[in-house]
């Protein structure tokens, strides 16, 4: 089954590319010129994104290296000990909305430390797979559209994230018990 | 909102560094972050340009509209006011499909292209439109069927069953997405009600 899924992932992009180019040619479109035109738009969008990415990288970078994130986790740790949630899981849950690569690193660490099929390993896997890098996605997406007023979207993203986190811990413990 | 978040992350970080005597770490962090941001943008520029070019072909040849037709029932429910904008709806479908299949490096270019198209239909460009909020609910929910990277790191760590988490991840993201959509639905209703009252 894993082989099947990985095959799908491997095939999806090349096949999609073939279909789009083939169909474009069939429709008598100057695919090369249209590609260049579209690619230029893509470059322009990316250039406009630079300040937004810089701003979020800076804020998250300072927040992490200064120890502010660790401090919040330490404060919440005692609370979570009562609920029997491993502290490492909490770190992951807090880090994921801020930084995708850092979260991936922590998940890989946890899988090696506790074993991928242990309670912590499974829970960490589900959190890693089901959470989004909320701050980064929002600043990127709103930046691409030059939107200043994001309305309720940040609260919405964080609530979805919190619910997913709770569900992940629940499902993780059910699976690990079997 | 974003102003507060930015100030909180930066300000709290610097304050805690001062209190814990780690102030020396802030300046190198600023330079490292700036460097990382540019590195990241350079990497993004390549995939963005490539997929924007390919998507332009898909758009001109009418494939995006065909894809929108495929997902018409769900899209009509989520985006009732733009049900005639087949191009945008096609892009929304493609973004979600890429996310479902775990095609990470194509999801971002698709999502950003969708955002610029949605923004063109936005009557209030400074403020996120209802459709943009709904689209963000879908993206932040992150519905995922095949988390490729996750399966890879699980098998690397020597899991007996790396794909064990496929079902749980799908279920969790589905619950997360529905939560986001419900929250979004209520928030939009409330803001509509407020606007309505303000006009009276």
Q: What is the ipTM of this complex?
A: 0.88
Interface contacts A/B by beta carbons within 8 Å: 336
Q: Is residue A40 part of a domain?
A: no
Distance CA A177, CA A30 (A): 59
Name the closest residue on chain B to residue A25, using Cα atoms.
Answer: B61
Q: Say yes or no: B172 and B100 in one domain.
A: yes
The segments of chain B whose pLDDT lies below 50 read none
Average the pLDDT over each of A101-105, A168-172, B136-140 and give the range with the smallest value: A101-105
Smallest CA-to-CA distance from A93 within A61, A57, A119, A123 is with: A123
Q: Say yes or no: B178 and B80 in one domain.
A: yes
**Is the pLDDT at A1 greater than 70, yes or no?**
no
Give the SS3 label for residue B105: helix
Q: Is residue A169 part of a domain?
A: yes
Which pLDDT belongs to residue A147? Answer: 92
Which pLDDT belongs to residue A84? Answer: 72
Q: Say yes or no: B99 and B197 in one domain.
A: yes
Which pLDDT belongs to residue B200? Answer: 66
| CB-nearest partner of A132 from B61, B140, B153 | B140
Q: Is residue A113 part of a domain?
A: yes
Name the closest residue on chain B to residue A52, using Cα atoms.
Answer: B37
**What share of residues in chain B are helix, strand, coil (percent, to 5)?**
85, 0, 15
Cβ–Cβ contact B17 with A under 8 A: yes
Distance CA A102, CA A86 (A): 18
| CA dihedral for A30, A31, A36, A42, sign (positive or negative) | positive
Q: Say if CB A42 and CB B111 are below 8 A apart.
A: no
> The domain containing residue A82 runs over which residues?
46-177
Angle at A138 between CA B173 and CA B86, to 5 degrees: 75
Q: Say yes or no: B105 and B176 in one domain.
A: yes
State the nearest Cα–Cα gap between B83 and chain A, in angstroms: 21
**Is the pLDDT at A168 greater than 90, yes or no?**
yes
Indicate the number of domains in chain A.
1
Do residue B176 and residue A23 have CB atoms under 8 angstroms apart?
A: no
Distance CA B166, CA B173 (A): 11
Q: Say yes or no: B13 and B109 in one domain.
A: no
In sequence order, what are the residues at sequence separation of 6 or more whose Cβ sits closer than 8 angstroms to the Cβ of residue B169? A125, A126, A129, A130, B144, B147, B150
Average the pLDDT over each of A57-66, A70-79, A104-113 and give the range with the smallest value: A70-79
Indicate the number of domains in chain B.
2
Q: Which of A156, A165, A166, A175 to mutate to test the interface with B (most CBs of B within 10 A)?
A: A156
Percentage of chain A surpassing pLDDT 70?
97
Neighbours of A112 (CB within 10 A): 14
Q: Is residue A101 part of a domain?
A: yes
Q: Say yes or no: B127 and B176 in one domain.
A: yes
Which pLDDT belongs to residue A2? Answer: 62
Q: What is the pTM of this model?
A: 0.88
pLDDT digits (tens, 9 = 90+) for B116-134: 999 999 999 999 999 999 9
| CB-nearest partner of A20 from B34, B58, B111 | B58
> The domain containing residue B16 runs over which residues?
1-61
N-term to C-term CA, chain A: 21
Q: Say if CB A139 and CB A55 are below 8 A apart.
A: yes
**Is the pLDDT at A137 greater than 80, yes or no?**
yes
Confidence of residue A158 (pLDDT cuts 50, 70, 90): very high
- DSSP letter, residue A149: B
Name the closest residue on chain A to residue B21, using Cα atoms.
Answer: A66
Distance CA B200, CA B197 (A): 5
Q: Say yes or no: B134 and B180 in one domain.
A: yes
């Amino acid at each position: 089954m894993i082989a099947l899924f990985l095959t799908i992932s491997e095939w999806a992009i090349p096949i999609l590319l073939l279909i789009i180019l083939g169909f474009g040619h069939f429709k008598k479109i100057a695919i090369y010129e249209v590609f260049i035109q579209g690619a230029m738009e893509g470059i322009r969008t990316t250039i406009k994104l630079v300040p937004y990415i810089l701003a979020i990288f800076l804020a998250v970078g300072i927040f992490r290296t200064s120890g502010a994130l660790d401090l919040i986790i330490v404060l919440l740790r005692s609370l979570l000990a009562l609920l029997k949630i491993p502290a490492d899981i909490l770190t992951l849950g807090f880090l994921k909305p801020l930084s995708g690569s850092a979260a991936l690193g922590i998940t890989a660490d946890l899988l090696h430390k506790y074993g991928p099929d242990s309670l912590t390993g499974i829970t960490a896997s589900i959190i890693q797979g089901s959470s989004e890098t909320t701050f980064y996605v929002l600043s990127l997406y709103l930046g691409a559209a030059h939107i200043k007023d994001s309305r309720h979207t940040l609260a919405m993203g964080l609530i979805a994230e919190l619910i997913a986190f709770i569900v992940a811990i629940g499902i993780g413990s059910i699976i690990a018990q079997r | 909102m974003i102003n507060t978040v930015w100030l909180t992350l930066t300000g709290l970080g610097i304050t805690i560094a001062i209190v814990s005597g780690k102030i020396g770490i802030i300046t190198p962090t600023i330079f490292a972050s700036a460097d990382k941001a540019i590195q990241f943008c350079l990497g993004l520029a390549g995939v963005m340009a490539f997929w924007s070019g390919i998507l332009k072909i898909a758009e001109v040849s009418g494939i995006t509209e065909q894809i929108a037709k495929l997902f018409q029932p769900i899209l009509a429910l989520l985006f009732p006011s733009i049900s005639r904008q087949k191009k945008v709806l096609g892009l929304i479908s493609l973004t979600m499909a890429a996310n479902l299949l775990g095609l990470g490096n194509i999801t971002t270019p698709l999502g950003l292209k969708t955002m610029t198209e949605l923004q063109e239909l936005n009557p209030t460009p400074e403020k996120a439109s209802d459709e943009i909020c709904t689209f963000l609910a879908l993206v932040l929910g992150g519905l995922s069927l095949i988390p490729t990277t996750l399966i890879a790191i699980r098998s690397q760590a020597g899991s007996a069953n790396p794909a064990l988490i496929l079902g749980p991840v799908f279920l969790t993201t589905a619950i997360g997405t529905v939560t986001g959509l419900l929250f979004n639905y209520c928030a939009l209703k409330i803001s509509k009600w407020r606007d309505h009252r303000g006009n009276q």
